[in-house]
Amino acid sequence: MFAGLPGIGVGTLFYVLAALWMPCWELTNVVRGKSSLVRWRLIARQLLFALGIMGSIAQSDRVLTWLLGWKTSASVGPARWIHDELGVHAPNSIMAAPIMAPSCYWLSSC
């Protein structure tokens, strides 16, 4: 796997999706009469954490983009760099990113 920013892995994705789903699930408990203010406080706290994670990831993406001097947001990784480099030297070739992405993933996991 590629080394990346901490907190943006599969576990964090699962946590954010679960936290965003919590209010929807709790609405079913409201209908059943099983909801409480304590549960809603927990849901609000988890939602704030999830929104904070999403905001920090978006902000770090913008800062990284700015530090690298890119005008628009683009993917970052070996497959993108190889594609861009081949595009400069061989503009009529097929796109390299779809070809190189699996091999870059495999090479980084060895």
Which residues are CB-contacts of 54 (< 8 A; sequence separation ≥ 6)? 16
Tokens read off for 108:
């980084």
pLDDT at residue 41, rounded to an integer: 97
Other beta carbons less than 10 A from residue 94's beta carbon: 8
pLDDT at residue 1, rounded to an integer: 44
- The answer to whether the pTM exceeds 0.85 is no
Query: Is a pLDDT exceeding 70 seen at residue 92?
Result: no
Count Cα neighbours of 57 within 13 Å in the Cβ-side half-sphere: 15
For the stretch 23-41, pLDDT in tens is: 999 999 999 999 999 999 9
Task: Say what angle helices 10-32 and 37-68 make with each other, to 10 degrees.
Answer: 150
Cα 11 from Cα 19, distance rounded (Å):
12
Cα 62 from Cα 43, distance rounded (Å):
28
For the stretch 25-84, pLDDT in tens is: 999 999 999 999 999 999 999 999 999 988 888 888 788 778 877 766 555 566 666 666
- DSSP label at residue 93: S
Query: Is a pLDDT exceeding 70 seen at residue 5?
Result: no
